[in-house]
Structure 1
């Protein structure tokens, strides 16, 4: 029995080192994947922030009246399909 235990000690030591290396490799791979996903999210967030800035600039800088534009778009659906009405025209100017 003693020789068997003596032979098992190096085998267990080798197996333990192998398991430790496998765990380190898995941690490294997980860290890489996390960094890649974080970079993707940063890119998505930046694009969304850019879009919001453009929308804010459209609404504030040009003084657009969004409700009027929405109603104008609704009115264009009621007009003949071939005729479009620019957003800046009021009901009186269309006639």
Structure 2
């Protein structure tokens, strides 16, 4: 192939290259904008969830600090109650009729 033919075509090839680069950069810019928008939306959702969890932790901290060791006593009382219910003998609580006796 003769290089003499490429010399007159060089400006056209350069224009085609520039058009391709500009078009490619605009597509990339659109892709980046879409990704940034999606990332910002996810960040807002995460931020909202973190704020909700922080509020819940604050409530738990308040409960623990306000009631102190009373919580442990209440938990043990609930465990004791459950143990009594599990060991139920099945004896009815109704009193026998005196007429039948």
Per the normalisation by structure 2, the TM-score is 0.67
Q: Which has the higher contact order (CA 8 A, sep 6+)?
A: 1
Gaps in structure 1 of 5+ consecutive residues: 84-95
Partner deviation per Cα, 1:36-83 (whole Å, 9 max, x = no partner)? 1111111111111111121122222344622212212322321226x9
Stretches of structure 2 that go unaligned for 5 or more consecutive residues are 1-5, 89-101
Within 5 A, what are the aligned runs for 1:62-73? 62-63=67-68, 65-73=70-78
- The number of residues matched between the two structures is 82
Larger Cα-atom Rg: 2
Q: Measure, in 1, the Cα distance between the counterparts of 2:78 and 2:7.
A: 90
* CA RMSD, 1 decimal: 2.1
User: Is the counterpart of residue 59 in structure 1 residue 45 in structure 2?
Assistant: no
Residue 51 of structure 2: which of 41, 46, 50 is its match? Answer: 46
| Structure-1-length-normalised TM-score | 0.70
